[in-house]
Each structure stands twice: as C-alpha cells, then as structure tokens.
Amino acid sequence: MASLDDQDLLAEYRSRRDFDKTPEPKAKRNKKSGNSFVIQKHAATRTHFDFRLELDGVLKSWAVTKGPSFDTSQKRLAVRTEDHPLAYGTFEGVIPKGEYGGGPVMLWDRGTWEPVGDPHKGLEKGHLDFILHGTRLKGEWHLVRMKKDKRGGKRENWLLIKASDKYAEDGSEPTQDYETSVESGRDMDQIRTGESAVWSSDKSKKPGASKAGKKRWHGKPPPPSRKATAPEFISPQLAALDDEVPEGDDWLHEVKFDGYRIQARKEGDRVTLYSRSGLDWTVRFPAIAKALTKLPCKEALIDGEAAFVLENGLTDFKSLQEHIDTDNPAIRYYAFDLLELDGKDLKKEPLAERKEKLQALFTKKKLPDRLIYSDHIRGQGEAFFGQACRTELEGIISKRANAPYKSGRSKTWLKVKCGRRAEFVIGGYSKSSAQGRPFASLLLGTYQDGNFVFAGKVGTGFNTGDMKRLAAKFEKLTRKTPPFAEVPSADKRDAVWLTPKLVCEIAFTEWTKDGRLRHPSFQGLREDKPAEDVTRDPPEKEVGEMAEKPSEPPAKTIQKKGGKPQDEFAGVTLTSPDRVLFPQQDLTKRDIAEYYETVAEAMLPYVVNRPISLVRCPEGRTQECFFQRHAMKGMSKTIKEIAIPGGETKKKYLYIDDAAGLFSLVQIGVLEIHDWGVSIKKLDKPDRLVFDLDPDEGLDLETLKAAAIETRDFLADLGLTSFLKSTGGKGLHVVAPITARSGWDEVKEFAKAVADALVTARGDRYTANMSKRARKGKIFVDYLRNQRGGSAIVNFSTRAREGAPVACPLRWDELGGLKTPSPYTVETLPKRLASLKGDPWEGFFKTRQSITKKAKKDLGLE
C-alpha cells in the first residue's frame, strides 16, 4: 500500500472541478502539518454545513445536513466527502451555477482541533474523538461511522455528536444562533451578491448594484477597509454590588435596566452588537442594529442595555427572552456610555464628559424610537434610589462622575438593588382553606450556631406547578414536632411541620427588627445546596439593615498571623484579592486561596506532577469561563509546561509540582482543576481507572448510591479495589488505581468493556451511550475519561458551579448517609478535614493492581 506521502489525496477533489470556471482553490497538498478546522455553510442544491479537519496536509471533510448541535441527544448525519486542500479553509464566495456544488459558501466557524487519541486509528475504526477550539464551536465532539448501506451504496455515512461537557446544552442549535460569517460578518444573501455591510443606511447600495457586487473572494477575504472585518470588542466595565447609595455630587445615578448588556460598534453603515462576553449578537437584535445605522457619526463604540419595555414603563427580562431575535417594537436600546467616537478613544475621559458627548450624539437628529439615551441624576442618590424602589424598578447604578472607563469590575460603578434574594430552608407550611390549594404559606428558617431559626412566612410567588411539586415533596417530610428552635404562637396555628431538607430561594425587601422577612416572594426550589449550609448573612451584608458598614482595611497592610501578608500564599501574591468569584456566597479570590491553603496538604498528592486541564473564570463563576489545557505566554513559572507526544498538536500541556503552582492557578482565576490519568513520569501509561456515574436529571439519589456499590463490586470481581469520590456535581466517581503498565488504548478498551458489562447486566439502570435520549431515566457510565486527553476532577478541587461545591474523597461507609451527591463546599469541607480521624482514601497510593488477563477474559476481551 502506498504511503501517505505517495497518495494523491486530492485526486477526487481535482476531478470534480473546472478551475477555469470556479474560484475555489486548486488542488495543492500542504506538506506541513497543522491542526486547523473550518465549517462552511454551503447553499448548494440543499443548504448544509461542510465540516473539515486538517490532517495529513489536507482537510478531511464531511457534509453535515442540519449542521452541528450542542445538544448531546442530537446525532447529526455527516456524509464523508472528498478531501479538500488546506487553502479551502479560507474560501468564502460563490461557486458558479452549473458547477459542482454551485452556490454561495460562508466561513461559518473556524479554529483549531485536538484529536483525543490517534486520529488515523480513529478514522480507520470509525470513531474519531476530538476537541474543538473555534469561535462558535467548542468542547469535545465525536464522529462515529455508521454501518455500510446493505444495498451497496457508496456513501460513507457518519454521525456528528456533541460530547457531554460544560459546553453541551439541551436544545442549543448554534446554526440558528449564528447566521453570519466569522470572517466578513456577511449573511448568505450578501455573500451571494458580494455586498459587505451588515446593515446599510444607503438605499442605493442594493445587491448587484455595482461591479464590486459581482466579485467573488478567493483565498482569505482581503478587506479593503475596516468595514469588511469583524470589529473589535472591548471587555465591559462591571458594577460592584453595594447596599448603600454613595453620597455627594461626584456620583451619577442611573436606572438599572432588566435586560441584556450590549456593546454596539458602528463603522460606516455597518453595525455589530456584542454580548457582555463578546459574542456577536447582531442577529439577536436585528432592529436595534438597523436603528443604530441612523446615528449621525461615521464611527462609534457605545455601551448600553437591550431591554423589553412593558406598558407600565418597566423593563422585563422574561419578556425580552420571549421576544429576542424579533423586531418587536417594545425592545429598546438604552445607551449609557460612549467609548469611541469618529476615531477618538474616549475611555480615559471622565464619565460626565463621555455622557455629555453621548447625549449630543443621540439628540443631534431625530433617531428611531427604540434608541434611548439613558439619562442620570447627579447627587441626590438616596432620593433617586427611593423613587426607583417606589416605582418597582430593580435598582440603580451609581457611577463616579470623574472616573475613566475601565474594563472589569470596580467600585467606581456600584449597583444598589431595591430588594434582595437569599436561600432559606422550608420547615413547615400553613394549611389553606382555598379549594385546590395545598398550602397557604411556607414557614422558613436558617441555621445559626447549630439551631434552626425561624425567619418568617412566604405566601406569594407560587404558580400551580410550584404548588403541585412542593406538595408532592412535602408528603415524605411530614413530622409531628416543629423543627425550629422557637416559633411565635401565631405562626403555629394550622401549621404542618416538615423535616428541614428543602432549600428555596426567596426575594424580599429587607429584614425586620425582630428578624423576619419583609415582603418575601417565592422564586423556586434550590437543589444545589444542602439545607445545613443555609445560614443568614451577617447584618452588614443585608440590604435594609442600618448596621454600620465596616471600613475596608488597606490592602497593602493586612497581615496574617506571623507577620506574613494576607494576600501571599506559598510565595505567590494575589492581585485583585477582593474580586468576588462566587457571588452568591460572596467568596473572593482570597477566600479560595485560603480554602486551598487549608486543604493543600491533603490535595497535593493527587495533583502534583500530573498533566492538568483547567476551567478559568477570571471575573468569577457567573461571568465568562473557558477551558484551558495548553501553556500560554505570561503564565507564572510555577505552572510548569510539558510536551506530550502522541497527539497532532505540538503545544505544551500544563502541570504543577508544588503548592506555589496551586496558588498560581488561583491567581489566574482557575475554579476547576482536572487531571489526566497519568503521571508525567509515564505519560503513555495510565495509573488509574475512572468510572463517572452521571445520572439523568431527576434520578433519585438512592439509585445512584446503588449504582456506585454495583460498580465497586463488579470491579472487585475483576480483582480491582476501588475508591469513592463526590465530584461536586450530580454524579459520583468510582476510581481504581492501577500500576502504570498498560497503554491508553488498552485501558480505554477495558473501561468500555466494564461499562458495556454493566449495561448488559442492568439495562434498566445503565447506559454507555451519551445521548440524552439514551440516558433518560438512567445512569450514564462515562468511560471516556480513560482515554488520552480525558480528564477527571481532582480531589478537593473547587467547581465553577452555584454553591461553591468541591470534589471530595469519601469512605465507602459514608455512601449510605449521603443526603446529596455533592455534600461539601468551600465553606464546609475544611471542617470535615479537621474532624477526620483518618484518610478516606487510605491505601490509595499503596494499592498495587493491574488489568489482568483473567479480567480481560472475563469481559470477553481475550
């Protein structure tokens, strides 16, 4: 068989095209290796998406009929097509009618890809796993070849499937969210005609009106001006939460809108709208984009908010979500800052001057009604705040009048809310006399110093569905005695007591002097936090209290015991130590570092000298997060780099070898640490097996517990001792250490055989198929963490999830008493460590066991 170098991989591509008639790139193979990928929307006989991965100097190609989906239950047909030259990865234009594939071609997405395992073996076996780093597509994906057509058809049909990871989302269809080119910003009609503007205010520029409209792009589209390129996004300034309105005339106060933060850039007759995280949302608010072309300027960069305005004048987020992607006239754009104007950067100018220029821009001529200048009040903050709350606004934003615009969260912008939200535990309910209503109100409490303290009652905010769900849960929790330390006599009448297990979120205005909620409203149940962790915030954190706020100590003078600076950990000094990373718990970067300082001794043996992958959230859990597995410039030297052979990329991976490395991860905003199943000493020999038991939503905890026991016992029958881990999510990990002898392929094959055996034994309980449909009512046994590049959350790592949960090693005898699969958080796990008398994973590092021939034979692998 001829070698790859000798094969003409582009012969079929060449034979199908007449390059005198089509502008497509000629059939030239690139000898240099790379890892690019591209997706091109192609309106041929039928519109489809061409999915292309660079390998062996060409683009391996599939035609995906409906395009990629982030929904793991969607298996999209991907028909294998001929290999394309690498130059095709920059092609956007029109293939002439009558030629092969005639029609417009759009560069819909592009980036780099990482194969998981050997891509050549994957293509040969018909199962290619890989990770995409695109503008629009990210995370892990699978291409799976289907069985050949029994009728002798020549088509090679594959399925493109999204893997289950943090980018997966039920019902998410990116091809519906993004309808423009990542290169030029054009839609298919504009590519067909050669038009370049997204929104044009010049009505004479109709499709095909000029010779330029007939030009096709060949190779990289060359924009002759900035109009044809994707405009730059500037990370927005964010407001810090406060509970007091700042005083004085050096503060400007604005209404807080209940909508989507939108940054708008106008360049000529082209407008691009960006979301808070920098996504191109022009297609989400088409009418706003069109209206902004009317601004009397050539170029501008504006900060503002898209909101849906009700008849009473209030903005409503729920209504905005229902009408997004439409031109509903109630959708308005409130502009509150001007960052650039006609080529001049204004960010360093005082806010008051920027707003003066913005107001002049919006009043210079009559603009569409949906464009509104967001006015302000200077000084008189308390009066403005009071009026906002009386008119049922969400709150206000207070900004220093003389401050420049600075990306990120700072205290020159403050948000002060009229009300607040918090979590409470349901300890009972009052009976209702209304027919069909299961209860009148809920009795709420929080834990304080080990006591369950009554906090009041809530009787509003429920819909019919809420009441039915709550009533069903109450049946199993009924008890005869009050769970509260004390309850007022009036609130005991007609009360039905419940064991305090259910956590709910309540919106309220303030606390009364006797410790009761004022104007509470039920928002929903919370299943991500144990009841015993629900405590009342200290008075200085509660809106409505008149307690004096503590002064903020100077950052440079705070000292720990022993004279060490508070913001220094293992020699690593934190910048922005007060940045809030978990807003709900008000946990700062310093708090996370202090947590790791507490658990470092127990954690480090599980993470040092092992390749790691990271989830970074530099601005906090609720802001933009991203996955990182490769080294990048500017990282601390305490975060080490290592090349890992066997993949297509030459980029180096990451590891740490001491506590300084751990705190350097905290410094760069890492909220999750995942490690590969190998040490850096034997990068091709895994030293553990991980079985991730991932239950379907709503599956009861007892079934998950039983599954963990069954998996443990099944592995024991194969001669493997295993250990139990809470992941900080809804599943559990069963982990078996192994001697580093077998390679990745053998370990993955063995892990899959174990998963398949569990499915065969209990098809009613397990599935090894990651699709949502197959997982309905079952537990997905995720064996794919046992492949090259696969990773699992490290013991004691934080999770970028609500409630600040952490991964935690557990003893098997603790399983029966678990009340939730994620029992510990940043705030509670240190207490657990302090109380432990022994290591829950005692013997883990001393266990000597391997994948034996007998075990493989028992699984049918020998």
**HEC profile of 590-610:** HHHHHHHHHHHHHHHHHHCCC
Residue 262 contacts residue 306 (beta carbons within 8 Å): yes
Residue 556 pLDDT greater than 70, yes or no = no
Residue 732 pLDDT greater than 90, yes or no = yes
3-class secondary structure, 757: helix
Residue 817 contacts residue 530 (beta carbons within 8 Å): no
Residue 655 tokens read as 């590891």
Residue 133 contacts residue 112 (beta carbons within 8 Å): yes
Residue 790 pLDDT greater than 80, yes or no = yes
Residue 798 pLDDT greater than 80, yes or no = yes
* DSSP per position, 454-504: EEEEE--S--HHHHHHHHHHHTTTEESS--SS---HHHHTTEEEE-S--EE
Residue that the structure tokens 């360093």 belong to: 348
Nearest CA to 730 among 698, 758, 756, 706? 698
Of 1-10, 535-544, 681-690, the range with the highest mean pLDDT is 681-690
3-class secondary structure, 182: coil
Residue 662 pLDDT greater than 90, yes or no = yes
Give the domains, in start order, of the chain with CATH numbers.
11-190 (no CATH), 237-417 (3.30.470.30), 420-538 (2.40.50.140), 566-862 (3.90.920.10)
Model pLDDT, residue 195: 64
Residue 168 tokens read as 């997966």
Per annotation, catalytic residue among 41, 138, 256, 772: 256
pLDDT tens track for 470-520: 999 999 999 999 999 998 887 887 899 999 999 988 877 667 767 888 767
pLDDT tens track for 96-120: 888 888 889 999 999 889 998 889 9
Model pLDDT, residue 565: 56
Model pLDDT, residue 528: 60
Range of weakest confidence among 376-380, 420-424, 690-694: 420-424
Per-residue DSSP letter, 224: S
Residue 539 pLDDT greater than 70, yes or no = no
Measured CA to CA, the distance from residue 211 to residue 697 in angstroms comes to 57
Q: How confident is the model at residue 316 (pLDDT cuts 50, 70, 90)?
A: confident
Residue that the structure tokens 């933060």 belong to: 261
Residue 331 contacts residue 285 (beta carbons within 8 Å): yes
Model pLDDT, residue 214: 28
* Annotated catalytic residue 556: no
Range of weakest confidence among 204-213, 444-453, 814-823: 204-213
Average pLDDT score over residue span 541-556: 32
Model pLDDT, residue 775: 80
Residue 120 contacts residue 53 (beta carbons within 8 Å): no
Phi, psi of 357 (to 5 degrees): -70, -35
Measured CA to CA, the distance from residue 315 to residue 553 in angstroms comes to 38
Residue 393 contacts residue 314 (beta carbons within 8 Å): yes
SS (H, E, C) 276-303: CCCCECHHHCHHHHHHHCCCCCCEEEEE
Q: How confident is the model at residue 448 (pLDDT cuts 50, 70, 90)?
A: confident
Residue 540 tokens read as 């200085």
Radius of gyration of the chain (CA): 30
Model pLDDT, residue 491: 83
Measured CA to CA, the distance from residue 417 to residue 257 in angstroms comes to 11
Measured CA to CA, the distance from residue 35 to residue 32 in angstroms comes to 10
3-class secondary structure, 636: coil
Average confidence score pLDDT of the chain? 84
Average pLDDT score over residue span 523-549: 58
Of residues 862 and 769, more confidence is placed in 769
Average pLDDT score over residue span 583-604: 90
Model pLDDT, residue 32: 65
Measured CA to CA, the distance from residue 421 to residue 97 in angstroms comes to 60
Q: How confident is the model at residue 227 (pLDDT cuts 50, 70, 90)?
A: very low
Residue 632's CB is within 10 A of a number of other CB atoms, namely 12
Model pLDDT, residue 218: 32
Nearest CA to 820 among 828, 624, 227? 828
Residue 560 tokens read as 């720990």
Model pLDDT, residue 121: 92
Model pLDDT, residue 320: 81
Residue 292 pLDDT greater than 90, yes or no = yes
Range of weakest confidence among 179-193, 569-583, 672-686: 179-193
Average pLDDT score over residue span 290-312: 93
Residue 448's CB is within 10 A of a number of other CB atoms, namely 13
pLDDT tens track for 23-74: 888 888 876 667 899 999 998 878 899 999 999 889 999 999 889 998 888 8
Residue 842's CB is within 10 A of a number of other CB atoms, namely 11
Model pLDDT, residue 59: 93
Q: How confident is the model at residue 549 (pLDDT cuts 50, 70, 90)?
A: very low
Rounding to the nearest 10 degrees, give the CA dihedral for residues 566, 570, 575, 580.
Answer: -70
Share of the chain above pLDDT 70, in %: 88
Phi, psi of 341 (to 5 degrees): -150, 120
Residue 345 pLDDT greater than 80, yes or no = yes
655 - beta bridge partners?
A: 640
Model pLDDT, residue 5: 54
Range of weakest confidence among 57-61, 298-302, 476-480, 616-620: 616-620
Range of weakest confidence among 508-512, 770-774, 843-847: 508-512
H helices of 16-136, in order, are: 119-125
Measured CA to CA, the distance from residue 135 to residue 613 in angstroms comes to 20
Model pLDDT, residue 401: 94
Average pLDDT score over residue span 464-468: 80
* DSSP per position, 357-400: HHHHHHHSS---TTEEE---EES-HHHHHHHHHHTT--EEEEEE
Residue 146 contacts residue 158 (beta carbons within 8 Å): yes
Model pLDDT, residue 7: 64
Residue 268 pLDDT greater than 60, yes or no = yes
* DSSP per position, 671-720: EEEEE-SS-TTSTTS--EEEEEEEEPTT--HHHHHHHHHHHHHHHHHTT-
